[in-house]
Amino acid sequence: MSANRSSSPFDDLITGFDKALRVVGGVASSSRPNPGAHANDYELSDDERRHSAGLMRVNHVGEVCAQALYDAQARFGKSETIRAQFKKSAREEEDHLAWTAERLSELGSQPSLLNPLWYAGSYVLGSIAAKLGDPKSLGFVVETERQVEAHLNEHLEQLPPQDARSRAIVEQMRVDEIAHGASAQALGAAEMPAPVRMVMQAMSKVMTTTAYHI
């Protein structure tokens, strides 16, 4: 059998299913050191610990969604350049997935119990965006990253000042999200219509509010 044989749709299905299981099962590895690894681990009160855990659980859910979105958009993207960019961004987002999972464990908490639902819903959205064509798919990324950046800015304001480890992680996530949005914009992203942006914001609000608690 040729080593260069292209993958079949069935191969792609199995690969995608395997990735989904790993993401929702909490199996993620980082290619970069955890930004919070060397930050001072100051003592947090019980309330502060619960609040930090809630915020980091929201961030972890965001990364679960990012994996699903980028996987779908890479799978159904029209050009190889676009697909390659989505795969690169997904790999960097997997770092975030691993970092937030590690921080949740340190805080004595756990990821959202609804991660399978978040992943499935995001994969559907990513598939729809990709089917609309590369410019709109890229535009979806730009708007998503813009909203994620706003959430991360809020979390930096809300995290306890002494929670240096969580803050270091969120700071690096923010830098990466801005870069992903800029890359998508440079590749020819189309502006999302205002009604679409409003729907995305409403869906994001439901997700963040729910994930903070569950």
177 CB-contact burial (10 Å; exposed 0-12 / middle 13-18 / buried 19+): buried
Task: Give tens-digit pLDDT for 25-61.
Answer: 666 777 799 999 888 888 899 999 999 999 999 999 9
The answer to whether the annotation marks 191 as part of a ligand binding site is no
Q: How confident is the model at residue 136 (pLDDT cuts 50, 70, 90)?
A: very high
The answer to whether the annotation marks 149 as part of a ligand binding site is no
Task: Give tens-digit pLDDT for 160-182.
Answer: 999 999 999 999 999 999 999 99
Measured between alpha carbons, how far is 156 from 56 in angstroms, rounded to an integer? 11
The residue extents of the domains of the chain are 9-18+43-213
The answer to whether the annotation marks 145 as part of a ligand binding site is yes
Q: How much of the chain, in percent, has pLDDT values that exceed 90?
A: 66
Q: Of 128, 130, 145, 127, which is closest to residue 79 (Cα–Cα)?
A: 130
The answer to whether the annotation marks 177 as part of a ligand binding site is yes
Superfamily per CATH, domain 9-18+43-213:
Ferritin, core subunit, four-helix bundle (1.20.1260.10)
Measured between alpha carbons, how far is 100 from 55 in angstroms, rounded to an integer? 10
| pLDDT tops 50 at residue 91 | yes
Measured between alpha carbons, how far is 186 from 126 in angstroms, rounded to an integer? 19
**Averaged over 64-90, what is the pLDDT?**
90
Q: Of 5, 44, 62, 24, which is closest to residue 200 (Cα–Cα)?
A: 62
| Model pLDDT, residue 182 | 94
